[in-house]
Amino acid sequence: MDAGKGYTLPHLPYGYKALAPYISEVQLTLHHQKHHQAYVTGANAILEKLDKARKENADLDMKALLKELSFHLGGFRLHNMFWENLAPSGVGGGGIPKDTLAAAINEEFGTFERFKKEFTQTASSVEGSGWAVLTYCMNTGRLMMMQVEKHNVNLIPGYRILMALDLWEHAYYLDYKNDRAKFIDAFWHLVNWDAVDARFVTHQKK
């Protein structure tokens, strides 16, 4: 990234009311405009520190700074993917995957129901604040589950993330209070399988 440039909050590919009743307008607006924006603001603040220190040839605590940067950028990127792999229920969201992704899921897990069960268990067992993600291993060509704690812990390098589910409480507490299981169940009504499939096909070609 060139000096002086930064990150911006992306627009959602749907309106704030579009994911109801599974995610309410109030919940989605708060999540996007406040929590996602906080990671954008945090990452840009660190970039400004780096730019300033380089201009002044000043010393920095690089270990602390880069850890904080990875936290904010992890939150920024994972939220971007989360929004992209959601769509209004019945209008691109929900149902079952098709085409290339469907074939890969059946090959790896046997059935879609087995895949759904494993992903749900992955999401339900995330400790504290974190994410459940479906990934693609470029070395083996296999689909795999991953738990990402606090955006930047337990992320295995080299794995391409295909689908992400935000399990921080800020993603669901207004709608579901502390009932994470109901939020995970609601997620399946909103998955944009076309977007997940397109991401999968792109990574297969690399």
User: Read out DSSP for 15-61?
Assistant: -TTTTTTTS-HHHHHHIIIIIIHHHHHHHHHHHHHHHHHHHHT----
Structure confidence at residue 1 (pLDDT): 39
Consecutive H or E run containing 70:
helix 62-84
Domain membership flag for residue 83: yes
For residue 3, tell me if it sits in a domain: no
Residue 59 belongs to domain spanning: 24-206
Is the N-terminal amide bond of 10 cis, ω within 30° of 0?
no
What is the predicted pLDDT for the residue at 4? 59
Domain count of the chain?
A: 1
Give, for all 206 residues of the chain, the pLDDT tens digit: 345 589 999 999 999 999 999 999 999 999 999 999 999 999 999 999 999 999 999 999 999 999 999 999 999 999 999 999 999 999 999 999 999 999 999 999 999 999 999 999 999 999 989 999 999 999 999 999 999 998 888 877 789 999 999 999 999 999 999 999 999 999 999 999 999 999 999 999 87
| Side chain identity, residue 135 | T
- Can you give the length of the chain in residues? 206
User: Is 15 a member of any domain?
Assistant: no
Task: Tell me, yes or no, whether 113 lies in a domain.
Answer: yes
| Distance between start and end Cα atoms, the chain | 23
User: Does a structural domain hold residue 145?
Assistant: yes
pLDDT of residue 138: 92
What is the predicted pLDDT for the residue at 168?
A: 96
- The CATH number linked to 197 is 3.55.40.20
Q: Does 61 reside within a domain?
A: yes
The answer to whether residue 201 is domain-embedded is: yes
Q: Look up the pTM and report it.
A: 0.92
Residue 16, domain member (yes or no):
no
